[in-house]
Amino acid sequence: MTEQTLSIIKPDGVKKRLSGKIISIFEENGFEIKAVKKVHLTKKQAEGFYYIHKERPFFNSLVAFMTEGPVIPMVLSCENAILKNRDIMGATNPKDAKDGTIRKMFAESIERNVVHGSDSIESAKFEISYFFNVFEIL
Ligand code: ADP
Ligand code: MG
């Protein structure tokens, strides 16, 4: 089934000018870019996006990281987009990520791990609508 998922190139990936490479990886793997923008999140916006992690010990540090510079959220579409994107991203901790995954190739730590990807149909729906309205998804 064709699905949509939200990907974000995080501030570390944008700062290191990895966005072109990362978008190429998505396109080469059959994803269509349905929407894309560049935004610098406020503290409140980052907290809202990651509300599910608000009790975690790393929450404040994660919010500081995600607001340190601009990010590039995008809506990706293909068959099984949510799981497929998680596969291409690799494990949260780059030390555990498989060879060839984005995090294995580019991430420096479990926190500064270059990309975000929705983890379920429910989170994809919430996360896509957090950044894009229906007229912006083509
Ligand atoms: P994922 O992004 O792989 O879905 P999580 O949803 O568990 O991972 O965590 C959200 C983000 O929080 C991670 O991508 C990473 O930036 C950060 N994070 C997760 N676990 C840790 C940790 N133990 N220490 C610091 N940051 C973390
Ligand atoms: Mg997650």
23-76 pLDDT, tens digit per residue, is: 999 999 999 999 999 999 999 999 999 999 999 999 999 999 999 999 999 999
Annotated active-site positions, please? Answer: 116
Q: State how far the Cα of 39 lies from the Cα of 57, in Å rounded to an integer.
A: 26
Q: Are 21 and 14 in contact (CB under 8 A)?
A: no
Instruction: Tally Cβ neighbours within 10 Å of residue 1.
Output: 6
Closest protein CA for atom 8 of ligand 1: 92
Ligand 1 atom with the smallest distance to the CA of 52 is: 6
Of the pLDDT bands very low, low, confident and very high (cuts 50, 70, 90), residue 4 is: very high
Q: State how far the Cα of 96 lies from the Cα of 57, in Å rounded to an integer.
A: 20
The continuous run of DSSP H or E covering 14 comes out as helix 11-15
Written as six digits, the tokens of 10 are 């995080």
